[in-house]
Amino acid sequence: MKVLHILSGGAAQGLVESLRYSFESKTSHRIDGTFGAVGAMHDKLLAGVPTDLLILTSKLIARIERDGHLVPDSAKIIGGVETAIAVRRRDAAPSIGNADSLRAALLDADEIHVPDLEKSTAGIHFAKVLGDLGIAVRVAARLRPAPTGRTAMRALAASKSERPIGCTQVTEILATPGLDLVGSLPPSCALSTLYAAAVTRRAQAPEAAGRFVAMLTAESGREARGEMGFV
């Protein structure tokens, strides 16, 4: 069986996995997906890692297309994903309706689980939020960064501390057993990120990649994407 190589931001991992069986059963290709912080996936592309299909933020996809790495006009929007707060299912949900309540919730937490603060979409934004709230120094020792939002959320779910909390993209929270989605970050701290898929110029399976893009963005799949956290 041939291989479809995908580099993807962690926010889309659940979506890719949900379509894997249908795609592989209908084509002669199996999916080999690598998921992680979007910056890390970009680095892998530039390093020459075999890549047929990219799933990254739409802004980064546009930049990569300008740099000549994508098949022109192959990029399609999948949907937006909001950055949000999570807690373990057994814990009470804190109030996060405005910046002051979010600040209080973060200061009350004894662990704060987040994705990579330098290369992940949610992590970079969360670091900015901490600065804007004026608490970056105060909570620095409580931060528990992980390579991806999914690994951060798994760590949150398994945490033995008294008052852990987490922040990453909604799709990664919903895909993690044992967690409750508290809600999106309040308006003054919010981030909604558009994700897109595109075929690379050096794709060894461009037709299969294009077919998978169509599956990722199909109108018939809008409701299912919504249930996973895409808007």
Predicted local distance difference test score (pLDDT) of residue 100: 98
Predicted local distance difference test score (pLDDT) of residue 169: 97
Same domain, yes or no: 150 and 202: no
Same domain, yes or no: 182 and 86: yes
Domain count within the chain: 2
Same domain, yes or no: 73 and 139: no
Report, as ranges of residue numbers, the positions in the chain whose pLDDT lies below 70: none
What is the SS3 assignment for 88? strand
Give the percent of the chain with pLDDT over 90: 99
Same domain, yes or no: 113 and 179: yes
Predicted local distance difference test score (pLDDT) of residue 152: 98
> Cβ(173)–Cβ(193) under 8 Å?
no
Predicted local distance difference test score (pLDDT) of residue 170: 97
Same domain, yes or no: 34 and 51: yes
Dump pLDDT digits (tens) for 182-214: 999 999 999 999 999 999 999 999 999 999 999
Same domain, yes or no: 42 and 62: yes
Predicted local distance difference test score (pLDDT) of residue 30: 97
The structure tokens listed for 33 are 């997906």
The C-alpha atoms of residue 121 and residue 104 are separated, in whole angstroms, by: 23
Dump pLDDT digits (tens) for 97-123: 999 999 999 999 999 999 999 999 999
The C-alpha atoms of residue 4 and residue 228 are separated, in whole angstroms, by: 23
pTM here? 0.91
Q: Which of 121, 124, 132, 39 is nearest to 80 (CA)?
A: 121
Same domain, yes or no: 103 and 65: no
Question: What is the span of the domain harbouring residue 110?
Answer: 80-189
Predicted local distance difference test score (pLDDT) of residue 1: 79
Same domain, yes or no: 67 and 93: no
- For the chain, the 3-state helix, strand and coil shares in percent, each to the nearest 5, are 45, 30, 25
The CATH number linked to 44 is 3.40.190.10
